[in-house]
Amino acid sequence: MKNSINSVIAGTGSYIPTRRVKNEAFLKNEFFDINGNRLEKTNKEIIQKFFEITEIKERRYVTDNLVASDIAYLAAEEALKSSGIDKEELNYIIVAHNFGDVKHGSNRTDMVPSLAARVKHKLEIENPGTIAYDLPFGCPGWLQAVIQADYYLKSGDAKKVMIIGAETLSRVSDPHDRDSMIYSDGAGATILEARESETPTGILSHNARSDTKVYAKMLYMDKSYNPALKDKGDIFLKMHGHKLYQYALTNVPKAIKGCLDKSGLSIQDVNHILIHQANGKMDDAIIKRLYKLYGREEVPEHVMPMTISWLGNSSVATIPTLLDLIWKDKLEGYNINKDEGSIFVFASVGAGMNINALAYKI
């Protein structure tokens, strides 16, 4: 039997910011609605309701001296270290993000040169054959970059690809919008390597969709909700939370099932589900709907590791950070099955609206 080329995880890394921001830090914020009216409920009530909906207790923010490309580089260093791969052998460095480098004290984006070019520069890679580029695709950006890497590797165009997700959402969120409590900062990196084997392993299949006709503006940029700041010109990340929630519940389970169908797998074959850490209750609801598509009412215990409660939503960084933690047995209370044949599912949803899913076999 002829060997097949497979895209296999060779190394992982992450950077978790050191600044811990608990929910109580928002008690002094002034919150307004979309029309500029001050919210009637007390901040204590707002924060309690926020926790009940999202399950977020705290999140991480970068220190003032760091930007997205810095933490992307730190995660990349960790991935290289864990893989043992020579950095000069990388064929591609793909950095998924949405806002570039945003410096402390500003919410202006800086994306020239690309973050990938900056990471390559910081890594001091000399090889001109290491192609560095960025991918803005909303929260599913890191997973979409993994899908692109899989095509490169299986086509023979590349042997080793580094994929990074990095974001500093704390610097583009409106402190006067209660949704700002969701967002956090972080970076995660993964190295995929082409390896030959007699049986399929590594990435088995993937599936993606973009719904732009109706849902393109579920997440968008706009002025602060605080009327006193309307004329400043700064714009912040905004979302239609309830509509986004319903869109995700309707479409993410179907996208995951479509991915599993492509590889001939069923939900009972899946050992671990790594889903974008967007909202704890939403992720739970998505997985329940996924299992119902297969006629199953109960979700197996410990199938879905979560970090949302203490890391918040760092967009493109949530899944690669989660992957790094479980791959290195650093997620308290969660042990993965690394036995040959274990099946992982990755899935994400975000601005666009975009959805993707991927099946991976050890």
Q: How far apart are CA 265 and CA 258, in angstroms?
A: 10
Looking at residue 340, its pLDDT comes to 76
> Coil, strand, or helix at residue 93?
strand
Tokens of 167: 């974001």
Q: How far apart are CA 119 and CA 125, in angstroms?
A: 9
Looking at residue 230, its pLDDT comes to 82
Distances (CA, A) of 344 to 44, 203, 268, 357: 39, 9, 12, 11
The closest alpha carbon to 361, from 7, 10, 13, belongs to 7
Q: How far apart are CA 362 and CA 222, in angstroms?
A: 43
Q: How far apart are CA 101 and CA 69, in angstroms?
A: 6
- If you search the block for the tokens 């991918």, which residue do you land on? 135
Looking at residue 289, its pLDDT comes to 98
Looking at residue 232, its pLDDT comes to 84
Tokens of 171: 């610097």
- Whether a cis peptide bond, with omega within 30° of 0, leads into 320 is no
The answer to whether domain 4-197 and domain 202-361 are alike in fold is yes
Q: How many CA atoms lie within 13 A of 120 on its CB side?
A: 26
State in words which class domain 202-361 has. Answer: alpha beta
Looking at residue 1, its pLDDT comes to 57
Looking at residue 58, its pLDDT comes to 98
Looking at residue 233, its pLDDT comes to 83
Looking at residue 291, its pLDDT comes to 98
Q: How far apart are CA 261 and CA 314, in angstroms?
A: 29
Pairing mode, if any, of strands 354-361 and 202-210?
antiparallel
Helices (H) and strands (E) in the chain — how many of each?
8, 13
Q: At a CB cut-off of 8 Å and minimum separation 6, what does 53 contact? A: 279, 281
Q: How far apart are CA 353 and CA 208, in angstroms?
A: 11
The closest alpha carbon to 324, from 169, 131, 158, 142, belongs to 142
Judge whether 278 and 351 are in contact, CB under 8 Å: no
Could you please report the per-residue DSSP string of 170-225? GGTB-TTSGGGGGB-EEEEEEEEEEEEESS--EEEEEEEEE--TTTTTSEEEE--S
Looking at residue 331, its pLDDT comes to 95
- Whether a cis peptide bond, with omega within 30° of 0, leads into 353 is yes
Looking at residue 120, its pLDDT comes to 98
Q: How many CA atoms lie within 13 A of 286 on its CB side?
A: 31
Q: Which long-range contacts (CB under 8 A, 24 or more apart) does 233-236 make?
A: 234/107, 235/107, 236/107, 236/172, 236/173, 236/174, 236/177, 236/180
Judge whether 59 and 183 are in contact, CB under 8 Å: yes
Looking at residue 344, its pLDDT comes to 97
Could you please report the per-residue DSSP string of 119-146? HHHHTT---TTSEEEEE--STTHHHHHH
| Digitized pLDDT (tens) for each residue of the chain, 362 residues in all | 578 999 999 999 999 999 999 999 999 999 999 999 999 999 999 999 999 999 999 999 999 999 999 999 999 999 999 999 999 999 999 999 999 999 999 889 999 999 999 999 999 999 999 999 999 999 999 999 999 999 999 999 999 999 999 999 999 999 999 999 999 999 999 999 999 998 999 999 999 999 999 999 999 999 999 999 987 889 999 999 999 999 999 999 999 999 999 999 999 999 999 999 999 999 999 999 999 999 999 999 899 999 999 999 999 999 999 999 999 999 988 888 777 789 999 999 999 999 999 999 99
**Any bridge partners for residue 61, and if so which?**
19
Q: Which sequence spans correspond to the domains of the chain?
A: 4-197, 202-361
Question: Interior CA angle at 223 toward 217 and 229, to 5°?
Answer: 165
Looking at residue 142, its pLDDT comes to 98
Q: How far apart are CA 341 and CA 161, in angstroms?
A: 23
State in words which class domain 4-197 has. Answer: alpha beta
Q: How far apart are CA 282 and CA 55, in angstroms?
A: 10
